[in-house]
Amino acid sequence: MGEQKGIVCVGEALIELARGADGRFGLSCGGDTFNTAIYLARAGLDVVFASAVGDDPYSDSVLALAAVEGLGADLILRVPRRLPGLSLIENEPGGERKIRYWRDGAPAAELFELPDWMRIAERLTTARLIYFSGITLSLYSNTGLGRLLAVLEVARQQGAKVAFDGNFRPRAWKGDLQRTRTVFIEALKRVDIALPTFDDEAVLWGDPSPEATVARLQAFGIGEIVVKNGPNSALVATSSSQEFVPVPEVVVPVDATAAGDSFNAGYLAARLSGSEPVKAATAAHRLAGDVIRHPGALMPRAEAAMH
């Protein structure tokens, strides 16, 4: 067995064009698991991001951001003559955002089918924690999914913990709820820590309450579940207890981008440093509350350092 090494976050880094208050678009990099990876790295953890990008200047900027943030990029594969996915973000009144994606043909979708995919697989099997999302799963073909799920099984046998945020986006699954559920069920059999959002689960599974989400996930044998339940609270469930953990301070969001991604990072960072689940959820609320006070997914590093 290889030596256990840090955290591996798996997913897609997109080029983001976000319209500012002046009507102009600003360029940045983002993506749900990429945002979480960066916030985990900011917490001082050893984190690498596993994905694939092109060999263009925009892909270079993804690697440059990873370097600035102390996020390991040696598992970001480069694919010649290809471009990364693009998202265009416009904020509606009240901090809600409308996102449109151009990601067909982006290399991230082929991560587990590229010639070098075994290098990703080998690293995953020695990880301390593996983190991915429903958006990650939506990227891959059945071949890619089969490989990822097989690797997760080996990794867990080697002592890795697997954390998963359902992050269900109907459009990413082309509206095919049946396939989504089938893929999620296979993934959930291999999860130790589930970090779903209640609104997503209600759409995908018809859950009437966060408690129902917990019961459904516990049926898969998942020992630790945190259901993010809007701006008010999170329901933390372990095998022995369930507790609603309130948001310590209600924040009117400037921009809700990455609220869930940063919550997950805050929670996992606190758990990895020894906090109990309820305490970790409070820390997660705090980080998410800081993040939504700022436009964009990543709050300025200077402010991050103050907390």
CA distance linking residue 138 with residue 116, whole number of Å: 21
Residue ranges of alpha helices (H) inside 43-128 are 57-68, 117-124
Of the candidates 32, 165, 255, 261, the residue annotated as catalytic is 261
Dihedral angle of Cα 24, 26, 32, 37, to the nearest 10 degrees: -160
d(CA 177, CA 179) in angstroms, rounded, equals 6
Q: Please report how the helices 277-291 and 259-272 are oriented relative to each other, as an axis angle in degrees rounded to 10.
A: 140
Q: Are 149 and 46 in contact (CB under 8 A)?
A: no
105/78 Cα distance (integer angstroms): 14
Candidates 128, 211, 214, 219; CA nearest to 166 is 214
Q: Are 5 and 123 contacting, i.e. CB atoms less than 8 angstroms apart?
A: yes
Q: Chain centroid to CA 145: how far?
A: 17
261 catalytic? Reply is: yes
Give the integer Cα–Cα distance in Å for 99 and 79: 26
Instruction: Report phi then psi at 79, rounded to 5.
Output: -115, 120
Residues labelled catalytic = 261
